[in-house]
Structure 1
Amino acid sequence: MLAASNHCYLNNHLNHQERHMPYVNIKITKEGATAEQKAELISGVTQLLRDVLNKNPATTVVVIDEVETDNWGIGGETVTVLRQQAALKQQDQ
């Protein structure tokens, strides 16, 4: 019974924290963002939330998801196709 009680306390504690913890999910196409660039994004977003909303950086969560260009669509086309079309147009000019 003690284990169940501890589990409930932990879940309640986490649920309470989640209401106050900013979570930012950045999605970018997987096209070579460096570790340094991602670190700068994480730092910058964390600082922005501190400056604008007075959020605690220690509880701010930033996640960067990199999506393959074949899995990202705009206007009915994949980003892969759009990049190829843009490259062809540039060659024609």
Structure 2
Amino acid sequence: MPLVDVTLTEGRDPAQVRELIHAVHDAVHRTVGARPEHIRVIVREVPRTHWATGDVTVAEMGLPDPSRPTAPDKESS
């Protein structure tokens, strides 16, 4: 019974998380041949203030927040 545990910073919309679950489930099914009903996928979302690398949180790093839309690229004139 495969178990895949994915940890992300929070901020993705439910459709993105659902697509991730689907893609991971499909990859496990295709690569190891596990029966679909036996595959477990857990997605854990951690606040950006609770995830740190080198004593700097993701929030402090100024990395893009996946819950905020990105500005469209502007063409140079």
TM-score (structure 1 length as normaliser): 0.63
1:60 to 39, 44, 56: 39
Higher helix share: 1
**Distance in 2 separating the partners of 1:57 and 1:76:** 40
If you compute each CA radius of gyration, which structure gives the higher value, 1 or 2? 1
Size of the aligned set, in residue pairs, is 64
Partner of 1:28: 8
Structure 2 portions without partners, runs of 5+: 65-77
| Deviation (angstroms), 1:44 | 0.6
Runs of 4+ in 1 over 3 A off after TM superposition: none
Structure 1 portions without partners, runs of 5+: 1-20, 87-93
Give the alignment's Cα RMSD to 1 decimal.
Answer: 1.6
Identity of aligned residues (%): 28
1:58-86 Cα deviation digits (max 9, x unpaired):
111111110001110112211111017x8
